[in-house]
């Protein structure tokens, strides 16, 4: 399982010298499974760069949207494969089914807000009516969980050949109102995953002003990783105001936190170009992780 980060920023793209190290593009993660299936989590501005890589082949693509907020869909009109004649692209949204998936992605390509109309695209784009049935029939295991985020959405847990990863963005672990998914349920959802990618947009000093905005505090995410006994944690969906130097400090704080808890969890800050190659060992259930940059 090869996991590559193309967009790691939350809320709005934040390019510039203060975000150059970790990247300023909004959410997009590519997962290539051993079977050859290509999964794309979210279509933020990072999907443009991914599209430049994906147009080199004609493999079918499955786009899994966590939800329909702008920072997770705004890169779609610039995704090269949608302009390839006959290219097969399946879109899974699932908050309210097929109609929502079409609306959030395609209405931005109306000929007015974007010069190319969605009806003019030459690719073969399909959406899914019965999401759970579709996911159940895939050759790999996919489990969804409701996000604690305004407007709703879904987290995903993917398992193939004994290797697991969870993608949980725009999720508030301690929301002010009754959660869609409780903390204990998140612990079980993330239990023993090889790689947990989780929203870590805020710090304690951002509260209480942003409590209820649908994002987690970094310290909460570290605790979740320990409680769920994950093998590797990637802190994701960085605040647009979070400078590289601040994220460097988060990396140091996180390493010290896990060390003080006698935890062997691998701790990472999501960055554009960061790639994980997850492989199951032949002699045990423990998986290895190799890091690269594309």
Mean pLDDT of 44-72: 94
pLDDT for residue 288: 54
Model-level pTM? Answer: 0.93
- Non-local (6+) Cβ contacts of 4 within 8 A are 29, 30, 31, 32, 50, 273, 274, 275, 276, 294
- How far apart CA 34 and CA 53 sit, in angstroms, is 18
Q: What percent of the chain has pLDDT over 90?
A: 76
pLDDT tens per residue across span 233-251: 999 999 999 999 999 999 9
What is 2-293's CATH number?
Answer: 3.60.15.10
- How far apart CA 195 and CA 217 sit, in angstroms, is 19
Using the predicted structure, report yes or no on whether residue 96 has a pLDDT greater than 60: no
pLDDT for residue 130: 80
pLDDT for residue 201: 98
Residue 116: count other Cβ atoms within 10 Å of its Cβ. 13
Burial 260-293 (b: 16+ CB within 10 A, else e): eeebebbbbbbbbebebebbbeeeeeebebeeee
Where do the H-state alpha helices sit in 94-243? 98-106, 131-136, 183-190, 218-228
| Max CA distance (Å), the chain | 57
- How far apart CA 282 and CA 265 sit, in angstroms, is 21
Mean pLDDT of 56-70: 91
Q: What percent of the chain has pLDDT over 70?
A: 92
Sign of the alpha-carbon dihedral angle for 11, 246, 40, 135: negative
- How far apart CA 78 and CA 49 sit, in angstroms, is 9
pLDDT for residue 286: 44
Split at pLDDT 50, 70, 90, the class of 285 is very low
Question: Domain boundaries in the chain?
Answer: 2-293
Using the predicted structure, report yes or no on whether residue 293 has a pLDDT greater than 70: no
Using the predicted structure, report yes or no on whether residue 29 has a pLDDT greater than 60: yes
Least confident of 35-44, 104-113, 187-196, 252-261: 104-113
Least confident of 7-11, 138-142, 176-180: 138-142
Q: Are strands 232-236 and 266-269 parallel, antiparallel or unpaired?
A: parallel
Which residue spans within the chain are E strands per DSSP? 2-7, 28-32, 38-41, 61-64, 88-92, 124-127, 141-146, 154-160, 163-168, 195-199, 232-236, 266-269, 274-280, 287-293
pLDDT for residue 102: 62
């Amino acid at each position: 399982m090869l996991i590559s980060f193309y967009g790691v920023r939350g809320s709005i793209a934040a390019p510039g010298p203060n975000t150059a190290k970790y990247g300023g593009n909004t959410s997009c993660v590519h997962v290539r499974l051993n079977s050859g299936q290509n999964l794309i989590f979210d279509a933020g501005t990072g999907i443009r760069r991914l599209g430049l890589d994906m147009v080199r082949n004609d493999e079918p693509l499955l786009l899994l949207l966590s939800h329909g907020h702008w920072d997770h869909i705004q890169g779609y009109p610039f995704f090269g494969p949608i302009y390839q004649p006959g290219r097969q692209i399946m879109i899974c949204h699932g908050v309210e089914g097929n109609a929502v998936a079409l609306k959030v992605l395609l209405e931005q390509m109306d000929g007015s807000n974007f010069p190319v109309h969605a009806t003019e695209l030459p690719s073969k784009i399909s959406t899914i009516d019965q999401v759970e049935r579709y996911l159940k029939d895939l050759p790999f295991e996919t489990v969804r969980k409701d996000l604690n985020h305004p407007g709703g959405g879904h987290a995903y847990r993917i398992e193939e050949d004994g290797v697991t990863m969870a993608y949980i963005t725009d999720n508030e672990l301690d929301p002010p109102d009754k959660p869609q998914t409780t903390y204990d349920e998140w612990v079980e959802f993330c239990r023993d995953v090889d790689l947990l990618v989780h929203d870590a947009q805020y710090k304690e000093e951002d509260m209480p002003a942003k409590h209820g905005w649908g994002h987690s505090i970094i310290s909460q995410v570290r605790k979740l990783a320990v409680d769920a006994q994950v093998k590797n944690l990637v802190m994701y969906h960085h605040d647009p105001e979070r400078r590289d130097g601040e994220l460097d400090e988060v990396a140091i704080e996180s390493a010290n936190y896990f060390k003080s808890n006698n935890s062997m969890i691998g701790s990472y800050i999501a960055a554009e170009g960061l790639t994980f190659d997850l492989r199951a060992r032949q002699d045990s259930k423990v998986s290895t992780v190799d890091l690269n940059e594309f």
